[in-house]
Homo-oligomer: A and B are copies of this chain.
């Protein structure tokens, strides 16, 4: 595992040893801790997925598709919280790799729907396994605070996510 180690060790990013020490000014800021927690945990997921040669960014897309059988890009955009223009390129990549299939909507020539292919489903399942492990780790860390954590995070998302400025 020394070899594995070095992959991470010689990167130029932060999170090395001696260490950052939360800048005093940020210590009490929820937003700061939110960002750091989210970034580090996502990166852990990305690393785990990357080792298995999987694209972590596809997980949300594939999982949403795994639940609905078929969706238009716009629906997927709403569900995943990404701009439609972002979906255009993601779907192009997924399609190119044979993970999804597109089908024109006969009732509306502007629109089409996408669904998982067999390969897409397999990829989703492999990513899901990694996500499950990652999430078990998070559950363990949160321990008895999990319910409170999810509740507060939900309140934050609800407050900022629904108001139109």
The chain A residues found within 8 Å of chain B, CB to CB, are 4-5, 7-9, 11-16, 19-21, 23-26, 28-31, 33-45, 47, 60, 63-64, 66-67, 77-85, 131, 134-135, 137-139, 141-142, 145-146, 148-157, 159-162, 164-165
Contact B25 A63 (CB under 8 A): yes
Docked Cα-Cα span, A47 to B163, in Å, equals: 12
Of the residues B81, B85, B151, contact of A39 by C-beta under 8 Å: B81
Contact B164 A44 (CB under 8 A): no
Residues of B close to A34: CB separation below 8 A: 34, 37-38, 41, 138, 153
18 new A-B pairs (CB below 8 Å) besides A8-B165, A40-B157? A13-B77, A13-B81, A13-B83, A23-B79, A26-B60, A26-B63, A30-B146, A31-B45, A33-B153, A34-B37, A35-B42, A37-B38, A38-B38, A40-B161, A141-B155, A142-B152, A145-B148, A148-B152
Docked Cα-Cα span, A47 to B137, in Å, equals: 33
Of the residues B5, B28, B35, B150, contact of A33 by C-beta under 8 Å: B150
Contact B33 A157 (CB under 8 A): yes
Of the residues B44, B77, B152, B165, contact of A145 by C-beta under 8 Å: B152
Residues of B close to A131: CB separation below 8 A: 29, 31
In the complex formed, the residue of B with least CB distance to A146 is B30
Residues of B close to A164: CB separation below 8 A: 5, 8-9
- A-B pairs, top 9 by smallest CB distance, nearest first, are A33-B153, A40-B160, A37-B153, A38-B38, A30-B138, A37-B156, A40-B161, A44-B160, A14-B78
Nearest CB on B from A54, distance (A):
15
